[in-house]
Amino acid sequence: MEISEIMPHIEALIFASDRPLTAMEITELVNNALGFMEDKLTLEQVQTAIEGAIEKYSSDFYPFEIKESGGGLQFLSKSDYHKTIAQLNGEKFLKRLSTAALETLAIIAYKQPITKGDIESIRGVNSDYSIQKLLEKELIVITGRNEELPGKPLVYATSRLFMDYFGINSGEDLPKLKEVIPENLIEPTSITQPAGAGEEKEPDSFLRVSEEGHLVEKEGDSSGENAVEQSQDPV
């Protein structure tokens, strides 16, 4: 079966689905629909057809496109038309998350799975309200309990809707620190060490952002000679 014959079936499935579809799911659905075929379509053939459909809708002729978002493929409107579409949904469409909710969501996204106690330890404030709002918006989910901590507190993680909301396909698509913080704002921060009374000791280590966008501790002089890097979890 030619790729040009497969593409319309793929487009119809993605368009009609109420959730993102993976290439594997599309392969199975198309084969079920075309059960009379002697040779079943392979995943490679479907992926080739998907690439063709993505290229087709990337043209300026279409106000929408096929993108990987929320764990699968979807038809999404292009950013140039978001304000136009917003008129159909009013304030609900334009409503933004509060700063507190975004802070809480960012911590959960980068540290998941995580308990409320750990979230509040990082933020320094009570996070009950923010967590409740994120649960209501279905941007986070309760994945279980931490059996090793006293009281077995609930554990939170981002939902599939979270990926869809922010237009990403997996946790690996989350931006690194260097992608969201200007380089001129990332200066080495000295970690002062205890010194004797009346004297100041030169700092033994510095914090900086690695090429992967994570905070790392560099031991040695600030010039970077003979330095040893120790990875730290990003916040």
State the CATH number of the domain containing residue 168: 1.10.10.10
pLDDT of 160: 80
Please tell me whether residues 164 and 187 are part of one structural domain: no
pLDDT at 23: 93
- Same structural domain, 158 and 225: no
- Average pLDDT estimate for 16-30: 91
Residue 207 has pLDDT above 80, yes or no: no
| Residues 64 and 118 reside in one and the same domain | no
Question: How many Å apart are CA 57 and CA 141, to the nearest integer?
Answer: 33
Residue 77's pLDDT is what?
87
**Lowest model confidence (mean pLDDT) among 14-18, 48-52, 57-61, 191-195:** 191-195
DSSP annotation of 40: P
Residues 178, 210: Cα–Cα separation, whole Å:
8
Asked whether residue 146 is domain-assigned, the answer is yes
Please indicate, yes or no, if residue 89 is contained in any of the structural domains. Answer: no
- What's the number of domains the chain is made of? 3
In-domain check, residue 92: no
8/74 same-domain check: yes
* 73 lies in the same domain as 8: yes
For residue range 62-90, list pLDDT tens digits in order.
Answer: 999 998 887 789 898 888 887 888 787 65
Do 12 and 60 fall within a single domain?
yes
Contact at 8 Å (CB) between 27 and 46?
yes
Residue 49 has pLDDT above 50, yes or no: yes
Asked if 92 and 141 count as a contact pair (C-beta separation under 8 A), the reply is no
- Better-predicted residue by pLDDT, 122 or 164: 122
- What is the DSSP annotation of 95-117? ----HHHHHHHHHHHHH-SEEHH
The pLDDT > 70 percentage for the chain reads 69
Domain that includes residue 226, residue range: 179-231
pLDDT score of 198: 45
State whether the Cα torsion 46-47-48-53 is positive or negative: positive
Residue ending a domain, among 174, 191, 223, is 174
